[in-house]
Amino acid sequence: MRKKIFAALGLIILILALYLIFNNKLTSVTRSGLAMNTLIRITLESFNKSEADLNKILDDAFDYIKLFESQVSLYDANSQLNKINNMAGVEPVKVSSDVIELVAKSIEISNLTGKIFNPLIGPLTKLWKINQVDKNDFKLPEPASIDQALEFLDINIISLDLANQEIYLNKAGAVLDFGGIAKGYASRKLADKFSSLGIERALIDLGGNIQVVGSDWNIGIRDPLDKDKIALKIKVNNQAVITSGAYERFKIINGIKYSHFFDPRTGMPVKNKMLSASLIIEDGALADALATSFMIMGDDEAQKFLASHQDLNAILIIEEDNRIKIIEAGKIFR
pLDDT bracket for residue 19 (50, 70, 90): very low
pLDDT value at 18 more than 50: no
**Average of per-residue pLDDT across 295-321:** 96
**Average of per-residue pLDDT across 254-271:** 86
Crossing angle for the helix pair 51-72 and 97-112, to the nearest 10 degrees: 70
Structure-model confidence comparison of residues 282 and 15, the more confident one: 282
Which pLDDT value is given to residue 23?
54
Rounded to whole angstroms, the Cα distance separating 141 from 24 reads 62
Crossing angle for the helix pair 182-196 and 284-297, to the nearest 10 degrees: 160
128-158 in b/e form (b: 16+ CB < 10 A) is bbbeeeeeeeeeebeeeebeebeebbeeebb
Averaged pLDDT score across all residues of the chain: 91
What are the chain's domains? 80-169 (1.10.3980.10)
Nearest to 287 by CA among 311, 259, 319, 260: 311
pLDDT digits (tens, 9 = 90+) for 154-172: 999 999 999 999 999 999 9
Residue 206: CB atoms within 10 A of its CB come to 25
Sequence-distant (≥ 6) Cβ neighbours of residue 253 within 8 angstroms: 135, 138, 140
Helices (H), 169-317: 182-196, 284-297, 299-307
pTM beyond cutoff 0.75? yes
Tell me, rounded to whole angstroms, the distance of Cα 134 from its chain centroid.
Answer: 26
Residue 30: CB atoms within 10 A of its CB come to 13
Name residue 323's amino acid: R
Tell me, rounded to whole angstroms, the distance of Cα 255 from its chain centroid.
Answer: 31
Which pLDDT value is given to residue 24?
67
pLDDT bracket for residue 209 (50, 70, 90): very high
Q: Is 292 exposed, middle or buried (CB count within 10 Å of its CB: 0-12, 13-18, 19+)?
A: buried
